[in-house]
Amino acid sequence: MKRTRHRHSYWTTKTTIVNLFLLGVVALMLYPFIVMAFGGFKTGSELATNPAGPPLQPTVHNFVNLFTGVSGALMWRSLFNSVFITTCFTILTVLFCALAGYAFAKYKFPGKNVIFGILIASMLVPGEVNLPILYIFFSKIGWLNTYQVQILPGTASVLGMFMARQFMDGIPDEVLESARIDGAGHWRTFWQVALPMSAPVLGAIAVLMAVNKWADYLWPRVLVSDPKLKPVMVLLPQLSAGPGGTFVIYYEVLLAGALVITLPILMVFLKFQDQLMTGTTAGALKG
């Protein structure tokens, strides 16, 4: 009895220590977001004297100034750019990943495993390594400062293909054969049978790709210099020019803008978090 009680006390103490450690990690992760949320409602002087605490005199002047000031028109345009680019990119990526995943999962062709292995290996190469040569390539074909250079590259996501392939590999072949016996061709089988059955993983891919594209900074920062075509992630840090061209950083306005561009993607994640978790784990033990 004493040994059992001692063991129970040991595990209780260990669990408490682990929980306290995890709470500390969560607090460190949330701290920047708390500073951002509080800072957007502070004046510049209060932000300098009270950077981390809640606003003593909350104000929405920063948000008004962000959208109605000198750079207000560009801010609205950059938000439209981000929504348009993210939507188009996500739709194309889900489509291409579904097609590729279905082909790798349900068709036999020479070199299938080799090609799939090379695609997986390409994930080990950092995207920054290819950036110089891609910049030269897109400049040669006249794609710099365009929407297509921000949408089309990356739509053939290897991660998305892998997720789709793993999930579709678990679709029973008998279901697809039944559709073919009923007269459905390859495209009809894909669109009307395989695609609806793969909705969970495709939803997870859509959420992941939308979040990554919305938060993308380096790619449009390098390939797009026209302010009218820049997404909000690139434009917001550049809204630091004061009257007369002087370089003044209004941190309270930047924090307000950061809060504005964080909320949409946060709401998307909270709305579809169940689909994301279901889709990312559904094919984990398959194939």
pLDDT value at residue 159: 92
pLDDT value at residue 134: 92
164 in the same domain as 76: yes
CATH code of 91's domain: 1.10.3720.10
If one counts every other C-beta atom within 10 angstroms of the C-beta of residue 87, the result is: 13
Half-sphere exposure of 192 (CA within 13 A, CB side): 11
271 in the same domain as 157: yes
Q: Which of 16-30, 57-71, 83-97, 252-266 has the highest mean pLDDT?
A: 83-97
Angle at 149 between CA 144 and CA 152, to 5 degrees: 165
Residue 244, domain member (yes or no): yes
Residue 64, domain member (yes or no): no
Tell me the pLDDT tens digit for each residue of 171-218: 888 988 888 888 888 899 999 899 999 988 998 899 899 999 999 999
Give the rounded distance of the alpha carbon of 53 from its chain centre.
Answer: 29
pLDDT value at residue 70: 66
DSSP the chain: -HHHHHHHHHHHHHHHHHHHHHHHHHHHHHHHHHHHHHHTTS-HHHHHH-SSSPPSS---HHHHHHHHSTTHHHHHHHHHHHHHHHHHHHHHHHHHHHHHHHHHHH---TTHHHHHHHHHHHTTS-HHHHHHHHHHHHHHTT-TTSSHHHHSTT-S-HHHHHHHHHHHTTS-HHHHHHHHHTT--HHHHIIIIIHHHTHHHHHHHHHHHHHHHHT--HHHHHH---GGG--HHHHGGG--B-GGG-B---HHHHHHHHHHHHHHHHHHHHHSHHHHHHHHHHTTT--
Task: Kindly indicate the confidence band of residue 285, based on its pLDDT and cuts at 50, 70 and 90.
Answer: very low
Tell me the pLDDT tens digit for each residue of 68-114: 866 778 889 999 999 999 999 999 999 999 999 999 999 988 989 99
Task: Kindly indicate the confidence band of residue 53, based on its pLDDT and cuts at 50, 70 and 90.
Answer: confident
Q: What are phi and psi of 94, to 5 degrees?
A: -65, -40
Range of the domain at 211: 72-282
81 in the same domain as 24: no
Structure tokens at 99: 């097609």
For 25, residues 6+ apart whose C-beta sits below 8 A from its C-beta are none
- The total of structural domains in the chain comes to 2
Task: Kindly indicate the confidence band of residue 11, based on its pLDDT and cuts at 50, 70 and 90.
Answer: low
pLDDT value at residue 40: 87
Residue 193, domain member (yes or no): yes
Residue 99, domain member (yes or no): yes
pLDDT value at residue 224: 94
State if pTM tops 0.75: yes
pLDDT value at residue 279: 61
Bridge partner list, 241: 247
pLDDT at residue 245 is higher than 60: no
7 in the same domain as 99: no
167 in the same domain as 29: no
pLDDT value at residue 8: 57
Residue 185, domain member (yes or no): yes
